[in-house]
Amino acid sequence: MSTLPRVVLLPIIVSVSLAFLLAPLTGCTATKRRVYGRTVAVANIESVMPPVLPAHIPPSKVAPLFGVIIENASGNVEVITDPSIKVPEVRAKVHGNDEREHRKAGTVPAWIAASIEKYEDINTLQVLAADPSDEKRSVDIRVVVPATAFVTVNNAHGTVELMNVSGALQVNNGVATGKGGRVIIRTDKPIKDGAIIRVRGGDVTLAFGTGSAGPIDAKARSVNIRTPAHAARGVVSDRENYTGELGTLGKPLVLRVPDGTLTLFVE
């Protein structure tokens, strides 16, 4: 998939009620996954298939890490980690006209593509969806990987949801069009590798695990940031802005939500 960019952005996160945020974050990996859409074939998937081991050698219990880069012109995007699987899974649902041959074969149009590529020695799942026709159909994308080294999502319109991810996160939703939508990130993992989240036309809700760290630079129509007592230092804040240092040795958390509410909860 040579058409995909080689630039890693960082990811992030959508709006939910405060009750949802304050719910226990442990057990996120047990989230029940509903089945929808159709399977998207992943090129080069054989390169990350686990080797067949002799019967006397137990399989590794360590979930393999994958980078994730998603470029979606329009539609909802969901990224979930599930350590019970060994290779990435991609499903897509096209809204609008559905060609007869795809319905019959249970496939997706060729303009929805996925592949495994190496990015800085990290096996990276790249997904691209952009309808070239005048209809400009939207696509809902669901990606499931064992664990994430980083996640980057560029989306024009729709909800972006990341569940139990880790590593560097970057989400751009509706930055160019202003029509984005909600972003939700909920994980019990510590976020220390940085996050860049830029969203138009929607709220952002982030729930990060214990040990998350980094300087916070947040701007939104309304900012609500909750961290453990004494975890944040040098805080300067008002209704629309927040700066402060969370923990130690973390990379920056840059959060921009000019049209909506930003809520960040750190366990």
pLDDT digits (tens, 9 = 90+) for 148-181: 999 999 999 999 999 999 999 999 999 888 789 9
Across residues 231-245, what is the average pLDDT? 94
Of 2-16, 71-85, 133-147, 164-178, the poorest mean pLDDT is in 2-16
Structural domains in the chain (count): 1
- Which parts of the chain are beta strand (E)? 38-39, 42-43, 65-72, 77-81, 89-94, 112-119, 122-129, 139-145, 147-155, 160-163, 168-173, 183-186, 195-199, 204-208, 214-226, 232-237, 241-246, 253-266
Q: Determine, yes or no, domain membership for 13.
A: no
Q: Determine, yes or no, domain membership for 201.
A: yes
Cβ(205)–Cβ(15) under 8 Å?
Answer: yes
Q: Determine, yes or no, domain membership for 162.
A: yes
Q: Determine, yes or no, domain membership for 252.
A: yes
Q: Determine, yes or no, domain membership for 33.
A: yes
Q: Determine, yes or no, domain membership for 3.
A: no
CA distance 230 to 142: 37
Q: Determine, yes or no, domain membership for 171.
A: yes
Q: Which domain holds residue 162?
A: 18-50+62-266
CA distance 63 to 31: 17
Q: Determine, yes or no, domain membership for 8.
A: no
Cβ-based burial of 177 (10 A; exposed 0-12, middle 13-18, buried ≥19) = middle
pTM for this one? 0.84
